[in-house]
């Protein structure tokens, strides 16, 4: 059984998460502040951390930096919508994914399963892989069959978000929040423009990667 550490100062959220995770047959330990969270992490053998961003004693950002010096354990940030700018910044500080509160518990479970399923690909090197797609996370370069694909910064950030969430349907709103930030004020149709630009660069008549989910958004999924 996989063991999860929840570092969250809201007692109701802690208890709810613990109950739901136990129901899914995870082992669970709890910490109500950053100091206790770091202590339990160092003493335990966990498979994943669910981490609140705003905590007493140590912030979520500080905890990420401390843990990343000694471990590649997956970290999913759970945070209020107005506490983040965009997903890329969270990834840069050491998190693997994030959800904004309130969130759907089934989406959390789906994201946890994706991380566990692809843990080796995430942490065995600087590459994040899916099928014949490969991203070098430090160089910020996309490859297809070892061929480098030239992308703009925004195209790369969008592709990074899609490959991190491979085989998960993402709404236009979610993609905009992850790539441009929750305070983006423009037209959400901008996501369609960048998806089309990505498709022209990475897809052929024989091979499609990005699927449209009508009325909702997009999914990165190879048939």
Domain ranges across the chain: 3-118, 125-220
pLDDT at 188 exceeding the cut of 80: no
Q: What percent of the chain has pLDDT over 90?
A: 43
Distances (CA, A) of 200 to 39, 155, 205, 220: 49, 11, 10, 15
* Per-residue confidence (pLDDT) for residue 148, from 0 to 100: 92
Q: What is the mean pLDDT of the chain?
A: 86
Q: C-alpha 161: how far from its chain's center?
A: 8
For residues 127-165, one letter each, b for 16 or more C-beta atoms within 10 angstroms of the residue's C-beta and e for the rest, the string is: ebbbeebbbeeeeeebbbeeeebebeeebbbbbbbbbbb
Residue 88, H or E segment: helix 87-92
pLDDT band at 205 (very low <50, low <70, confident <90, very high): confident
pLDDT band at 82 (very low <50, low <70, confident <90, very high): low
pLDDT at 69 exceeding the cut of 50: yes
pLDDT at 92 exceeding the cut of 80: no
Q: Report the range out of 6-10, 44-48, 78-82, 99-103 with the highest average pLDDT.
A: 6-10
**CATH code at 125-220:** 1.10.10.10
pLDDT at 99 exceeding the cut of 80: yes
SS3 of residue 76 by DSSP:
strand
Tell me the whole-structure pTM to 2 decimals.
Answer: 0.59
DSSP 32: S
pLDDT band at 122 (very low <50, low <70, confident <90, very high): very low
CATH of 3-118, one of 3.40.50.720, 3.40.50.2300, 3.40.50.620, 3.30.1490.20: 3.40.50.2300
Which residue would you say has higher pLDDT here, 90 or 20? 20
Q: Which one, of 42, 55, 56, 49, lies nearest residue 77 by Cα?
A: 49
Q: Which one, of 159, 169, 223, lies nearest residue 197 by Cα?
A: 159
Decide: 32 and 8 in contact? Cβ < 8 Å.
yes
Q: C-alpha 193: how far from its chain's center?
A: 23
* Per-residue confidence (pLDDT) for residue 5, from 0 to 100: 97
pLDDT band at 187 (very low <50, low <70, confident <90, very high): confident
Q: What are phi and psi of 196, to 5 degrees?
A: -65, -40
pLDDT band at 124 (very low <50, low <70, confident <90, very high): very low
Q: Report the distance separating Cα 221 and Cα 89, nearest Å.
A: 25
């Amino acid at each position: 059984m996989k063991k999860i550490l929840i570092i969250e100062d809201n007692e109701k959220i802690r208890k709810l998460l613990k109950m739901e995770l136990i129901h899914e047959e995870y082992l669970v330990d709890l910490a109500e502040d950053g100091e206790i969270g770091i202590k339990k992490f160092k003493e335990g053998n966990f498979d994943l951390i669910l981490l609140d961003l705003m905590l007493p004693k140590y912030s979520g950002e500080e905890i990420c930096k401390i843990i990343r010096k000694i471990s590649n354990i997956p970290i999913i940030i759970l945070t209020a919508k107005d506490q983040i700018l965009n997903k890329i910044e969270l990834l840069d500080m050491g998190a693997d994914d994030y959800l904004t509160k309130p969130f759907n518990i089934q989406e959390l479970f789906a994201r946890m399963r994706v991380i566990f399923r692809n843990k080796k690909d995430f942490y065995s090197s600087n590459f994040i892989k899916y099928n014949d797609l490969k991203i070098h996370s430090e160089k910020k370069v996309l490859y297809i069959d070892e061929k480098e694909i030239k992308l703009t910064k925004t195209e790369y950030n969008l592709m990074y978000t899609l490959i991190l969430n491979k085989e998960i349907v993402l709404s236009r709103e979610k993609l905009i929040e992850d790539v441009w930030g929750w305070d983006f004020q423009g037209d959400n149709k901008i996501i369609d423009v960048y998806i089309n630009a990505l498709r022209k660069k990475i897809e052929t008549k024989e091979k499609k990667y990005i699927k449209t989910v009508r009325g909702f958004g997009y999914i990165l999924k190879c048939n």
